Structure 1
Amino acid sequence: MLRTGPLARLSASPWTLIAVWALSRLWLVAAALKVPPLAGDGTLDPSVDTVYRGWFGVLASGTFPAHDVSWQYPPGAALPILAPGLLPSLDYGHAFVLTAALTDALVTAGLLWLAMRKGRSLAAAWLWTAALAVLSTMPWNRFDLQVTAVAMAALVVAASSRPWADRAFGALVALGALIKVWPALLLAGTGRGRRTRHSWLSAALTGAVLLAGFALAMPHALSFLTAQKSRGIQIESVGALPFHVARHFGWSGTWKAKDGSHEFVGPYVETVSLVMQCLTVLALGWLLYWRTRRPAPSDGAPWLLPDASLTAVLLFVVTSRVISPQYLVWLVGLAAVCLLGRETSQRPAAWLVLAACVFTTLGFPLLYRGLRDDADPLAIANLFVRDLLLIAAAGLSAVRLWRVGQLGRKEP
């Protein structure tokens, strides 16, 4: 009865989705822009108003901010940082929020169009609309929306039957990886044989050309290669969970502002950091093993590429030494592409990601100061729930990917 009830019919209407999207964005984008009566003290988010604005000034002068410890990105990250300069009549901060809002609008329109064109449910568009709203103003104050849009476009293009689809997929993956490295993980799910050869070669050539272009045009383009080596355990990561508890039992460590984030320093931190890096290597090893066991007929299953992409990025996130709130934008985007396919195995993981968004927003910014400064039990409990939801999503995603990869069909 629920499938044919008024609520189900309402959620199946594209006009309902458009109305919810418009109302939520009208509120949240205005809040990000500090439009009255949501202005507060009138100051934009520090990430935009201070960090990105400073990077813009350096990048616009023709070089990369190599001596800024918070700049740890590949050279393609210059593109979303410089993009607001295309709106010279606006203040940089306001222009940045508007470019992010335009990206959100394009992604929503694309998801809606794809669902209606293929006669599918609006689950993908609803997930994207709801999850970004739950994440509050954060998505419009980071450039993760832009790189996620590139990754989503790559997966959509790869599902096309056009002869150039694999090469276009590889080129878009390379572009995304040059903005933030994680889109390179999308290559893990390509079908063996011709599809892998075409997409991987296209990604390698596109990446090499773009990287060479940045290196020749702007000094310090390759500084990102060594920027991550000193990263520790960021206080919101899975590896940080035991230290939050240990602070209540006499652990002598503390947190420190380091490399553009807040990280734990003290006894056993380096050991846990090494363990997390080993877990990342093991996760990548499992993905490679999954590829070797993936049967050839699955090349004809377009839903398997986005499924594998979500699994790969989830495994990367939960084993990373850093889990920033904006990482959830990546996961939401990939999960939304998965939901475009009826055969996807990732529906449970997608809804766990949505649940994790709720606790992410509770943790940042609402409970963040208590977590960082006071080891507040409520803030710690919230972080445990969020991280355990992500671990559950990663585990369930991997199990279901393995099963459908072996069966060559949808998980029951």
Structure 2
Amino acid sequence: METKGAGRSLAWLLATWGVTRLVLLLFVFQVWIFPGGLDVTSDVSVTYRGWYEVLRHGTFPLDDVTWQYPPAAALPILAPAVLPFLSYAHAFFILAFLADAVVLHLLLYPAGRPGRSPRGAWVWVAGVPLLGPTVYARYDVMVTAVAVAALLAGVRHPRVMGALTAFGALLKVWPALLLVGVVRRRAWAAAAVTAAGLTTVFTVAMPGAFAFLTFQRSRGTEVESLGALVFHVARHFGWHGQVLLNYGSLEFLGPHVDQVSTVALALTGAAFGWLLLWRLRAVRRTPHTLADAAFTAVLLFTVTSRVISPQYLVWLVGLAAVCLSYRASRMGAPALMVVVASFVTVLEFPLGFGHVVASDRYGVLLMLVRNGLLVAASLTAGRELWRATVGPAPAAPLPPQPTRPRQTPVSS
């Protein structure tokens, strides 16, 4: 009976994945037009395609300040060349779809082992489509596939995890945070060797491999970030600033923006300090600690970032899915918050982005709810990670002691 029930559950999961992913493909192929009026695929058909033309000639886009990615990001941008019979954009969407399928396979593969659960696969199946077609119109789903593979390999194959983590970090930096909970030297050594090797190859082969570092330095406060809420509210009280396209995204420019950006950087530093303290104090580690720590770290750095773009939620959904693939993980509540935040995210981009840019009441409400959910998820994840790993383990209840039957005195 259990096998039959498990088979039925798997069939429902695969059917749900197939239907939702077909809908996403119909949207990005523009067979159906997604509501809201914004074409989320233009990043692929215009920006990525422009970078592709530069990259295929053996150099990075040095004159484009919107190129803010580490050198291995060239690989997903160039990847559509493997499907020459399709247009650039259509090939990219198919590759993003395949990366999505890889994540599902990685989550399902260990689901039948002791201590594992299909909950993680359901988080991925349900969470991704809530973000809308943006998921397939950015290369973040490909980076997430690498990160999920790294975390799932971490317990049994630390060297593989280290190598994949280094590769992921050279795709989009944030996977470096997967190493927060790693204690095995083999993983760190593999990460260092892989990072050094790939960095050398890119530096020698293509000029400008690390130009993105100078471009990132000049970023401001993007309209969807936590810090932007200050200016969304301040606009209703006479703040005289602007929302302009700056370094590839819509950012607030005007009085006190620099100070808010500085506070965001300070909060990122505080998050790093807390993670360092946790690492020094943690005394209990279980197979799911790696995933729980990585999820918490990426949550903290996402929330404190000067930019919280919609595609960032893809990372969080993927890491939450890995956490919940372990039955003993205590990340259920923050994972649910991330899934709900994904739905609110599609309401603000692309559906309500005009309201967000205008800072009207609806736009401010969307940002308060979405970013509030992410803050709550970060704090909850941090609390659960601390409780599960720091300090003495909770005492097991004592077994009941046998009691002697009460003797009734016999009167003479």
TM over 0.5: yes
Distance 1:11 1:228 in 2: 48
Alignment identity in percent?
A: 49
Structure-2 change in CA distance of 1:206 and 1:120 (3 Å): closer
Listed one character per residue, the Cα deviations across residues 292-326 of structure 1 (whole Å, up to 9, x for unaligned) are 1011x52xx11100000000000000100000000
How far is 1:35 from its partner?
2.7
Q: Does 1:60 align with 2:43?
A: no
Counterparts of 2:313 and 2:196, CA distance in 1: 29
> Could you say which residue in structure 2 is the equivalent of 1:308?
293
- Deviation, structure 1 residue 10: 8.9
Aligned to 2:407: none
* Aligned counterpart, 1:122: 118
CA contact (8 A) 2:271 2:300 kept: yes
**What RMSD, in angstroms, separates the aligned Cα atoms of the two structures?**
2.3
The secondary structure found in structure 2 opposite 1:104 is: helix
Shift of the 321–304 alpha-carbon distance from structure 1 to 2, 3 Å rule, reads: same
How far apart are 1:111 and its partner, in Å?
1.3
CA offsets, 1:251-281, max 9 Å, x none? 0111110011011011111001000101101
Contact 1:12 1:122 in 2 (8 A): no
On the 8 A contact 2:117/2:326 being kept in 1, the answer is no
Which 10-residue stretch deviates more, 335-344 or 118-127?
A: 118-127
The aligned residue for residue 401 of structure 2 is none
Distance of aligned partners of 1:272 and 1:40 in 2 relative to their CA distance in 1, 3 Å threshold: closer
Show the counterpart of 2:101.
Answer: 105
Mapped partners of 2:129, 2:330: distance in 1 = 25
1:338-360 Cα deviation digits (max 9, x unpaired): 01111112111111100100110
Asked if 1:228 corresponds to 2:224, the answer is: no
Contact 1:303 1:341 in 2 (8 A): yes
Matches within 5 A, 1:389-400: 389-400=373-384
Output aligned runs, 1:12-411, within 5 Å.
Answer: 13-35=9-31, 45-118=41-114, 120-160=116-156, 165-191=157-183, 195=184, 197-295=185-283, 297-298=284-285, 301-372=286-357, 374-407=358-391
Distance 1:302 1:82, change over 3 A: same
User: Unmatched 5+ residue regions in structure 1?
Assistant: none
Give the 3-state SS of the residue equivalent to 2:251 in structure 1. strand
What SS is found at the alignment partner of 2:245?
A: strand
Relative to structure 1, the CA distance from residue 88 to residue 394 in structure 2 (aligned partners, 3 Å threshold; closer, same or farther) is: same
Larger radius of gyration: 2
With the length of structure 2 as denominator, give the TM-score of the two structures: 0.91
Q: Contact conserved, 1:34 with 1:40, CA < 8 A, in 2?
A: no
1:375–1:155 distance in 2 versus 1, CA, 3 Å: same
Pair 27,153 (structure 1): closer, same or farther in 2 beyond 3 Å:
same
Shift of 1:116: 2.9
Deviation at 1:109? 2.0
Q: What is the DSSP-based 3-state SS (H/G/I as helix, E as strand, rest coil) of the residue aligned with 2:132? A: coil
TM superposition shift of 1:86:
0.4
In structure 2, C-alpha distance between the alignment counterparts of 1:408 and 1:126, rounded to whole Å: 33
Q: Give secondary structure in 2 for the equivalent of 1:116.
A: coil
Whole-Å Cα distance in 1 between the matches of residues 246 and 80 of structure 2? Answer: 28
Q: Distance in 2 between matches of 1:43 and 1:255?
A: 20
Residue identity in the other structure for 1:49: S
CA distance in 2, matches of 1:408, 1:348: 23
Q: 1:38 to 1:388 in 2, by over 3 A?
A: closer
**What amino acid sits opposite 1:136 in the alignment?**
G
Structure 2 residue runs of 5 or longer lacking an equivalent are 397-412
**Residue 225 (structure 1) shift:** 2.0
Q: Distance in 2 between matches of 1:260 and 1:11?
A: 46
In the TM superposition, residue 71 of structure 1 has moved relative to its aligned partner by 0.4
Name 2:402's counterpart in structure 1. Answer: none
Q: Is the 8 A contact 2:299 2:316 kept in 1?
A: yes
- The number of equivalent residue pairs is 393
Give the whole-Å Cα distance in 2 for the aligned partners of 1:379 and 1:324: 15
Question: What one-letter code is carried by the residue in structure 1 that aligns with 2:377?
Answer: A
